[in-house]
Amino acid sequence: MGLSVKVNKIVNGFSLDAEWTIGNELAVLFGCSGAGKSLTLQMIAGLLSPDRGFIHLNERTFFDGSTGRNLPPQERSCGYVFQDLALFPHMTIRENILYGAHGLSKADREQQAGTMLETFKITGLEDKYPSEISGGQKQRVALARALIRRPDALLLDEPFSALDNPLRAEMQHFLQEIRREFSIPLVFVTHDILEAYSMADKIIVYANGRVAQSGSPQEVFTNPASREVEQLVNTRERLLQSVESLPCMSKY
């Protein structure tokens, strides 16, 4: 059980060749911008098709290049939170959350919307519009929309990158609470070294379209597998000191 990815893709001269497997854990895809992290996420979600390879989630095959199987996004049971959150400005908070509930009956949609409002601590905001709520509240709305159908995996593409540090720390802590509630594979894209270390069960380091190393944060930061990985994590001493000074960011 879990998420297994082996994908090859060439886009505008950039070559991606990535392979990794995770269980019901929070995996961080870490690396510089342009390394192929978001591209991988898009292929898992079905927004982009690999040239070759496979994508399996639990006992389902989303993509298999050898057989031609390629499920559309709506059949993949993946929640997706975009970097810009992609909330609809003309819809209320309730309507934004319900947008993620396609396929559920009307009664189930309303029940789940109420559950999401309570779970994500945004009850009372349902009739407001995105422009009327704070950045942290928008994050919670985007997460609620992504999880309203109880998906089998959650994909997050740098969702906290636009937040200031205190709010970012709060949302990182909240995400840890969510993963305990839903117990599904979470794949979180970032190029922030502190975010990667403090949040991940497993770090998958991307470099130039390849997986350069994967393992626990301690393994990757203490024993980088190559000079390339070492250059990416060469601030690990400063990082460890920062983590120790921020209890709310420490590993639970």
pLDDT of 239 reads 55
Domain 3-77+153-249 has CATH 3.40.50.450: no
Distance CA 148, CA 102 (A): 10
pLDDT of 92 reads 97
pLDDT of 251 reads 40
User: Is 104 a residue whose pLDDT tops 90?
Assistant: no
- What single-letter amino acid sits at 28? V
User: Is 247 a residue whose pLDDT tops 70?
Assistant: no
User: Is 68 a residue whose pLDDT tops 70?
Assistant: yes
Q: What value does the mean pLDDT of the chain take?
A: 89
248 against 231, higher pLDDT: 231
pLDDT of 21 reads 97
Confidence of residue 208 (pLDDT cuts 50, 70, 90): very high
Instruction: Note the pLDDT tens digit of each residue in 211-246.
Output: 999 999 999 988 999 988 988 877 555 555 555 544
Confidence of residue 252 (pLDDT cuts 50, 70, 90): very low
Instruction: Note the pLDDT tens digit of each residue in 86-95.
Output: 999 999 999 9
Q: Where in the chain is the domain with CATH 3.40.50.300?
A: 3-77+153-249
pLDDT of 240 reads 54
pLDDT of 69 reads 98
